[in-house]
Amino acid sequence: MSNDSIGAPGSYVQSQIIQAKAPPPVPSSRPWTPTRIAGTAWLTLWIAAGLGIVWFLLNSNHVALVFGGDGLLPVSITHNAKFLTKYGEKFISGFIVTLKLVGLSMLLGVSLSIPMTFMRMSKNRVLGGIAYGYVYFFRGTPLLAQVFLIYYGAGTFRAPLQSVDMWWFFRDAWNCAVLAFTLNTAAYQIEILRGSIENIAKGQREAASALGLPRWVTFWKIILPQALIISLRPYGNEIILMIKGSAIVAIITIYDLMGETRRAFSRTYDFQAYIWAAIAYLVMVEALRRTWDRIEAHLTRHLKR
Amino acid sequence: MNEILTLLSFGDMGWGDEIALGVVTTVSLALASLPIGLLLGFLLALAKKSEEPALRAAANVYTTIFRGLPELLTLFLVYYGGQILIQQVLSLFGELYFEVNAFLAGMVALSLVFSSYASEAFLSAFRAINTGQYEGANALGLGYVQTMRLVILPQLVRLSLPALSNLWLILLKETSLVSIIGLADIIRYSNMAARTTKEPFLFFSVACVIYLVLAVISSGGISRLDAWAKRGETSR
């Protein structure tokens, strides 16, 4: 045996080792499939529409570039935003009215829905029936009809209401709107709460009673915390539905965001009123949806696996 | 009591026939928007579950816009915006006057809103269907259309029916908004009757009751539809 053969295995392996193959060629471009063409065309359409809206807004406010001014720069921007200077503040006040209406009716709705949920879930036939009828009525009829029923319908009972000194309340459109929205959102919230409480696994109650916990503690410390976590998402959706639904109060002469928009449009016939309103509502709803997602992710972080 | 019956009777004295006309308008508007909304929603769901990012992004923009805007505002944008847009286009061809039909505007707006919500219902139903179903269909040699028609759609109908029937009830209620742009639906006629007879509570209660009855009838139809969609399921 020679030294060669001793060292052979190594050199053999070295000579026989399979060279790494070249990586597959990088695809130069994705093929233009029909779906890609359709998607790109649709997206282009959206971008064009967005640019069209920006152009429309700039055009209707007479925004223009003027070359050769005597300022620091050779270019200056001129505008004649008559509409915005006249109605801008009113839009902001309408926005605040919308927020107030939604906030107030949500808070009142929460405080009404909690006792009503117990009524709805109680074994007492009469109490359960009343709550069921209430929920069925307010979820089965349009919000617009409810607002009209309360605001205009109160007129039928003017004399009796005056005799108990309640007429001042129903005479005011704002009070009627808050009342209608509170009753409406409470009906939806009852169903949200009931659904999430009934969704808690039966074992949770059984375990609590095996530990000898009283019913009140079981509900307060075991059922409710879990139910509230489940109901986070539907509650967020309910707030969004309320913001969107609140637009109809413009019909009963409340100058919320929609009301101000309608007033500005009927005075100027300038369509940018509706564009600004659309932007405001979209931003409001989208911002709320994203923050709510954040809040939900934060509150359910212990449930992440 | 007698006066109330007179007010609600059919004929010259009562408002019964007018309100019945309003019911026809409401129901036909909802029924007209439903198929368009369903079809658009299905196509949107297909776009959202496609592998093409541009298509997904475009479909998501659609949903974000029409789910974020208040329905009333969407209606106004379609009604007034459509009017202005068509007028602008027509003015290129000379002096033509065109008025957007309120029914058509309502139909378009409600379909847009319905389709954006329906697309989410279809999408979650698509996600609930096992990949094994596609693989099984593939193993049987079914093409794309056949897989869709014979395997996926029957399951999709069953899975999306609860969400869609909820959307139908919402659609039925949302038709009330068209009364604001002048379409003679239940609310519009009740409003007219309330103003004329000075009995607002009576007529708006009647309107609410009619909506409740429509909801009850729909629920009956939905539960039959649900039983039909679930006929293939074994009882467990």
User: Is A278's Cβ below 8 Å from some Cβ in B?
Assistant: yes
Chain B interface disruption, residue of A29, A43, A191, most B CBs within 10 A: A43
User: Is B161's Cβ below 8 Å from some Cβ in A?
Assistant: no
Residues 136-175 in A contacting B (C-alpha not used; CB under 8 Å) = 136-137, 140-146, 148-149, 152-157
Q: Taking the model in full, what pTM does it have?
A: 0.87
Confidence (pLDDT) at A70: 65
Q: Which two tokens stand for residue B168?
A: 């139908």
- A157 to chain B nearest CA, in Å? 8
Confidence (pLDDT) at A90: 92
User: Is B53's Cβ below 8 Å from some Cβ in A?
Assistant: yes
Distance CA A274, CA A269 (A): 10
Convert the pLDDT of each residue in A242-298 to its tens digit: 999 999 999 998 999 999 999 999 998 888 999 999 999 999 999 999 999 999 999
Whether residues B205 and A153 touch (CB distance < 8 A) is answered with yes
More confident residue, B87 or A147: A147
Residues 94-153 in B contacting A (C-alpha not used; CB under 8 Å) = none
Convert the pLDDT of each residue in A50-90 to its tens digit: 999 999 998 888 887 777 666 677 777 777 778 888 898 99
Convert the pLDDT of each residue in A87-117 to its tens digit: 989 999 999 999 999 999 999 999 999 999 9
Chain B residue with the nearest C-alpha to that of A146: B208
Confidence (pLDDT) at A139: 93
Confidence (pLDDT) at B17: 85
Confidence (pLDDT) at B215: 94
Chain B residue with the nearest C-alpha to that of A242: B70
- Cα–Cα distances (Å) from A177 to A131, A145, B192, in that order, read 22, 12, 21
- Reported confidence tier of residue A1, pLDDT bands at 50, 70, 90: very low
User: Is B63's Cβ below 8 Å from some Cβ in A?
Assistant: no
Distance CA A188, CA A171 (A): 26
Distance CA B136, CA B138 (A): 5
Q: What is the mean pLDDT of residues A169-191?
A: 94
More confident residue, A142 or A60: A142
Using DSSP's 3-state secondary structure scheme, residue B212 falls into helix
Confidence (pLDDT) at A102: 96
Contacts of B200 in chain A (CB under 8 A): 148, 152-153, 155-156
* Secondary element (H or E) of residue A77: strand A75-78
Contact at 8 Å (CB) between B167 and B42?
Answer: no
- Nearest Cα neighbor of A94 from A299, A276, A216, A300 is A276
Spell out the residues 6+ positions from residue A169 whose beta carbon is closer than 8 angstroms to its own: A175
Predicted complex: ipTM over 0.85: yes
Report the percentage of chain A scoring pLDDT > 70: 94
pLDDT at A10 over 70: no
- B205 to chain A nearest CA, in Å? 7
Residues 196-215 in B contacting A (C-alpha not used; CB under 8 Å) = 198-202, 204-205, 207-208, 211-212, 215
Confidence (pLDDT) at A59: 87
- Reported confidence tier of residue A7, pLDDT bands at 50, 70, 90: low
Confidence (pLDDT) at A51: 95
Q: One digit per residue, pLDDT tens: chain B, 236 residues?
A: 677 777 777 776 778 888 999 999 999 999 999 999 999 999 999 999 998 899 999 999 999 999 999 999 999 999 999 988 888 888 888 777 778 889 999 999 999 999 999 999 999 999 999 999 999 999 999 999 999 999 999 999 999 999 999 999 999 999 999 999 988 999 999 999 988 888 899 999 999 999 999 999 999 999 999 899 888 776 65
Spell out the residues 6+ positions from residue A66 whose beta carbon is closer than 8 angstroms to its own: A75, A76, A77, A78
> Out of B55, B57, B212, whose CB is closest to A38?
B55
Contacts of A39 in chain B (CB under 8 A): 47, 50, 52-58
- Reported confidence tier of residue A4, pLDDT bands at 50, 70, 90: low
Confidence (pLDDT) at A24: 85
Give the Cβ contact number of residue A122 at 10 Å. Answer: 12
Whether residues B69 and A149 touch (CB distance < 8 A) is answered with no
Distance CA B187, CA B176 (A): 6
The mean pLDDT of chain A is 89
More confident residue, A71 or A8: A71
> Out of B70, B201, B202, whose CB is closest to A281?
B70
